[in-house]
């Protein structure tokens, strides 16, 4: 590689620990879990303080030799004057501090908590010394006669015990790195047969593809005599994947020095043919990739490791693929030097960077030898201005009605200072600064650097125009060497109107003759970001919201299957600008399972009239043989009194005839197959 040189220890690693940063979380761990570093640090502090204390006490011994008994008395607070008194005070105070550190570790305290305990002990020692031994209350017979050192230790022991018993130190705050990746089954297929055996035993299920593949990466489902069988594919495979550089993913101007496969050729170079030194330009994304001769799970690392399991980063999300690609963006040397306040590059230009790759197949066969991609990052001075890659939310997004400020994230290709204005102007004259990640180590996973800001002055129902510009090398000592954007990044936020719900249904009472009944919730919206287009959800009290099955436009509908009772649903709608609207749907389902009742029968104008308590269809028969044993479809043995659901029903008047009348309501409720609503006889009662 042109301009390249091999180094056993990269200077870059000493300045930038995480080129691709990992997300971090803060968690709580049990009190008993202490790092050896913390214990060693506390022990060193205690030992150091005790050592200084001994030196101070030795000063007193050097001035005037004393016996062991006198020395002990002196440490515990015996009388001393002049230089000896000073040595006594300093030495004993530092010894108190050391004892506090030891008690803090025993009580499970953090370093800060142990320091606080030590400070309290030293304060107690000084107080007793000044007010007791030093002389304000000096003399026998006082509470201070025990000695300042002893009282300080007693105070610290009591506080340490109280802290321990009160559980003040039950938790510790630690920073834990984590990586979220898709779950993968164990390698191999030793457990494939369990899918067949266990499911066959209960006789209720068959071995599905999901169940089979979850038992092992090499488990496959196949049909055998009409049944699904889970089997171990390529059980005798002991060969690791063959890795070959993938040329198709390289960008314009890039090439591999070799396209041979590993393990035949496992050292390779990535060259930028557009540059004289063939190095990668800083803060410019470039891609690399590999192919394998079989589906494989691949990993990469910036350092050489002993095995596949020791490698840190997953390639292609940990999936078993035959094509794997990733995009890298490397920081510039000048930015690193600026941040470290170094004026000269202590190593030769074109320092090589390496990416180490291994792969593992379904059966757990992994590469022993790593495929190594080498490339150099150009040390040439950066003469290009920063590039704003993206903004979140993107330009053209809406802002909720009534909101005058919006938080946004701006992603730049290199560490920069960024500003914004409502007017298009040069960087130095823009009025508002963004908060930016200016450290080289703050690179996002996609190689960008994030800036945060709040855009204010947003007005409703109109486009709000903003302009962004950035300037690179924020740590540069000479501002004239920095590059600022000459053209602003144009950004628009759309002010919106309020989102409103115009109608909701059903409301009131719904009467039905059967349950459960199908009910359709219906909501209509207008206004907001996009003429009423919104996402709506419904919820009952103490239940989580559920999105409507049909939503996203102005009409939102959801089918429900419900039984009789009272129902209340909270309705909430949100559009793309985060405008919200809420309402409530309340209704009662009344279940009618009672046959109609005849409330009146009388003669009127030559006909027999029957009045029912609800709308119904009625039929009658005058056949004394069958009486009420007719159906509503029996047109031979019965006659209709009404053709639509109504409360008034008529029949021709036949004097001295018996009328067998039965009725059914709109829900089919009727008195029964052999039962009438009423039996009436037509009699003329005229005198």
Q: What is the pLDDT of residues 604-647, one digit of tens each?
A: 988 999 999 999 999 999 999 999 999 999 999 999 998 899 99
**Residue 383 reports pLDDT greater than 70:** yes
List Cβ neighbours of 570 (8 Å cut-off, separation of 6 or more). Answer: 538, 539, 540, 541, 545, 582, 584
Secondary structure of residue 63 in the 3-state scheme: helix
**Residue 361 reports pLDDT greater than 80:** yes
Residue range 473-478: mean pLDDT, rounded: 90
Better pLDDT: 129 or 5: 129
Distance CA 129, CA 67 (A): 23
Region of 247 please: left (phi>0), alpha (psi -120 to 50) or beta. Answer: alpha
pLDDT per residue as tens digits for the range 557-572: 999 999 999 999 999 9
CA–CA distance from 398 to each of 513, 533, 576 (Å)?
48, 13, 7
CA–CA distance from 179 to each of 29, 325, 487 (Å)?
19, 19, 38
Whole-prediction pTM value? 0.61
Q: How confident is the model at residue 378 (pLDDT cuts 50, 70, 90)?
A: confident
**Residue 64 reports pLDDT greater than 80:** no
Burial tier of 316 (Cβ tally within 10 Å: 0-12, 13-18, 19+):
middle
Residue range 373-382: mean pLDDT, rounded: 86
Better pLDDT: 222 or 3: 222
Amino acid 244: pLDDT: 93
pLDDT per residue as tens digits for the range 120-149: 888 888 877 776 654 434 444 444 456 777
Instruction: Put the strands of the sheet holding 546-547 in their side by side order.
Output: 508-512, 580-591, 565-574, 535-539, 546-547
Characterize 467-500 residue by residue with b for buried, 16 or more Cβ atoms within 10 angstroms of its Cβ, and e for exposed: bbbbbbbbbbeeeeebbbbeebbebebbbbeebb
Distance CA 547, CA 576 (A): 15
Through-space distance between the first and last CA atoms of the chain, rounded to whole angstroms: 130
Amino acid 87: pLDDT: 67
Q: How confident is the model at residue 447 (pLDDT cuts 50, 70, 90)?
A: confident
Residues 646/663, Cβ–Cβ less than 8 Å: no
CATH topology of domain 598-681: Immunoglobulin-like (2.60.40)
Q: Which residue has the tokens 């030590």?
A: 118
Residues in the chain: 687
Correct CATH for 388-495 of 2.30.30, 1.20.58, 2.60.40, 3.30.70 = 2.60.40
Q: How confident is the model at residue 314 (pLDDT cuts 50, 70, 90)?
A: confident
Amino acid 200: pLDDT: 55
Residues 295/400, Cβ–Cβ less than 8 Å: no
Query: Element (H or E) spanning 502, and its range?
Result: strand 499-505
Distance CA 115, CA 104 (A): 8
Residue range 309-317: mean pLDDT, rounded: 85
Helix, strand, coil percent values for the chain (each to nearest 5): 20, 35, 45
Give the pairing of strands 639-640 and 658-665.
unpaired
CATH dotted code for 499-591: 2.60.40.10
Better pLDDT: 10 or 26: 10
Residue range 428-439: mean pLDDT, rounded: 95
**Residue 3 reports pLDDT greater than 50:** no
Region of 548 please: left (phi>0), alpha (psi -120 to 50) or beta. Answer: beta
Beta strands in 302-404 (DSSP E): 313-315, 321-328, 352-361, 371-376, 388-392, 397-399
Better pLDDT: 417 or 541: 417
Residues 374/357, Cβ–Cβ less than 8 Å: no
Residue range 258-263: mean pLDDT, rounded: 84
Q: How confident is the model at residue 365 (pLDDT cuts 50, 70, 90)?
A: very high
Better pLDDT: 345 or 285: 285
**Residue 552 reports pLDDT greater than 50:** yes
CATH topology of domain 243-376: Immunoglobulin-like (2.60.40)
- Token digits of residue 300: 């990469």
pLDDT per residue as tens digits for the range 148-206: 778 888 888 888 888 777 766 556 566 666 666 778 899 999 999 888 876 655 555 67
Residue range 487-494: mean pLDDT, rounded: 97
Residue range 437-457: mean pLDDT, rounded: 91
Amino acid 348: pLDDT: 42
Location of each CATH 2.60.40.10 domain in the chain: 499-591
Which has the minimum average pLDDT: 54-63, 98-107, 364-373? 54-63
Distance CA 250, CA 248 (A): 6
Convert 438-483 into a string of H (helix), E (strand) and C (coil).
Answer: CCHHHCCCCCCEEEEEEEECCCCCCEEEEEEEEEECCCCCCHHHCC
pLDDT per residue as tens digits for the range 500-529: 999 999 999 999 988 899 999 999 999 999
Amino acid 249: pLDDT: 92
Amino acid 132: pLDDT: 62
Averaged confidence pLDDT in the chain: 82
Amino acid 581: pLDDT: 97
Residue range 336-365: mean pLDDT, rounded: 75
List Cβ neighbours of 162 (8 Å cut-off, separation of 6 or more). Answer: none
Amino acid 135: pLDDT: 42
Residues 649/638, Cβ–Cβ less than 8 Å: no
Distance CA 26, CA 655 (A): 95
**Residue 73 reports pLDDT greater than 60:** no
Residues 97/124, Cβ–Cβ less than 8 Å: no
Residue range 207-220: mean pLDDT, rounded: 91
Amino acid 9: pLDDT: 37
DSSP string over 218-232:
TEEEEEETTEEEEEE
- DSSP annotation of 550 reads B
**What distance lies between CA 417 and its chain's CA centroid?**
29
DSSP string over 565-608:
EEEEEEEEEE-TT--EEEEEEEEEEEE--S---EEEEEEETTEE
Percent of the chain topping pLDDT 90: 53
């Amino acid at each position: 590689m042109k301009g390249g040189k091999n180094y056993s220890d990269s200077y870059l690693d000493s300045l930038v620990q995480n080129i691709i940063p990992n997300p971090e979380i803060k968690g709580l761990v049990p009190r008993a879990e202490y790092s050896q570093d913390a214990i060693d640090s506390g022990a060193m502090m205690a030992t150091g303080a005790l050592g200084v204390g001994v030196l101070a006490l030795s000063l007193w011994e050097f001035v005037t030799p004393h016996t062991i008994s006198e020395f002990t008395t002196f440490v515990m607070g015996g009388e001393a004057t002049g230089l000896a008194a000073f040595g006594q005070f300093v030495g004993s105070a530092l010894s108190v501090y050391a004892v506090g550190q030891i008690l803090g570790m025993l009580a499970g305290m953090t370093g800060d908590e142990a320091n606080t305990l030590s400070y309290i002990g030293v304060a107690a020692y000084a107080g007793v010394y000044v007010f007791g031994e030093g002389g304000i209350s000096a003399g026998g017979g006082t509470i201070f006669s025990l000695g300042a050192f002893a009282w300080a230790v007693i105070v610290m022991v009591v506080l340490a015990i109280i802290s321990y018993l009160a559980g003040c130190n039950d938790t510790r705050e630690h920073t834990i790195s984590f990586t979220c990746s898709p779950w993968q089954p164990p390698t191999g297929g030793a457990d494939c047969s369990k899918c067949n055996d266990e499911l066959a035993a209960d006789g209720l299920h068959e071995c599905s593809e999901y169940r089979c593949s979850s038992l092992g990466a090499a488990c496959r489902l196949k049909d055998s005599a009409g049944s699904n069988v889970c089997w171990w594919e390529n059980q005798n495979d002991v060969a690791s994947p063959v890795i070959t550089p993938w040329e198709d993913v390289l960008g314009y101007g890039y090439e591999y020095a070799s396209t041979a496969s590993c393990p035949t050729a496992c050292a390779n170079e990535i060259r930028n043919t557009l540059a004289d030194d063939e190095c990668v330009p800083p803060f410019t994304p470039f891609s690399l990739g590999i192919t394998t001769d079989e589906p494989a799970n691949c990993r990469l690392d910036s350092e050489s490791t002993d095995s596949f399991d020791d490698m840190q980063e997953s390639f292609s999300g940990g999936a078993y693929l035959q094509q794997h690609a990733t995009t890298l963006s490397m920081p510039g040397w000048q930015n690193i030097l600026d941040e470290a306040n170094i004026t000269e590059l202590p190593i030769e230009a074109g320092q090589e960077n390496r990416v180490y790759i291994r792969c593992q197949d379904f059966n757990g066969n992994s590469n022993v030898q790593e495929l190594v991609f080498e490339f150099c990052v150009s040390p040439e001075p950066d003469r290009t201005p920063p590039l704003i890659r993206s903004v979140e939310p993107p330009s053209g997004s809406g802002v909720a009605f009534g909101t005058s400020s919006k938080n946004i994230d701006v992603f730049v290709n290199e560490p920069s200072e960024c500003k914004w204005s409502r007017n298009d102007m040069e960087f130095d004259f823009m009025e508002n600064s963004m908060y930016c990640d200016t450290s080289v180590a703050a690179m996002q996973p996609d190689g960008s650097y994030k800036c945060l800001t709040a855009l204010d002055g947003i007005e409703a129902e109109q486009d709000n125009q903003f302009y962004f510009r950035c300037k690179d090398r924020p740590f540069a000592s000479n501002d004239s060497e920095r590059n600022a954007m000459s053209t602003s990044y144009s950004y628009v936020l759309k002010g919106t109107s309020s989102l409103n719900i115009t109608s909701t249904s059903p409301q009131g009472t719904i009467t039905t003759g059967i349950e459960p009944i199908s009910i359709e919730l219906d909501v209509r919206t207008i206004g907001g970001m996009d003429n009423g287009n919104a996402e709506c959800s419904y919820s009952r009290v103490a239940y989580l919201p559920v999105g409507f099955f049909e939503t996203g436009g102005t009409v939102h509908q959801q089918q429900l299957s419900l039984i009789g009772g009272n129902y209340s649903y909270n309705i909430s709608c949100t559009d793309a600008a985060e405008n919200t609207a809420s309402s409530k749907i309340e209704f009662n389902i009344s279940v009618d399972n009672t046959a109609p009742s005849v409330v009146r029968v009388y003669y009127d104008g030559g006909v027999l009239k029957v009045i029912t308590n609800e709308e119904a269809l009625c039929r009658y028969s005058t056949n004394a043989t069958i009486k009420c044993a007719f159906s509503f479809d029996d047109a031979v043995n019965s006659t209709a009194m009404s053709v639509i659901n109504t409360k008034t029903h008529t029949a021709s008047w036949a004097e001295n005839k018996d009328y067998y009348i039965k009725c059914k309501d709109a829900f089919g409720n009727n008195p029964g197959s052999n039962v009438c609503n009423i039996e009436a006889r037509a009699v003329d009662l005229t005198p």
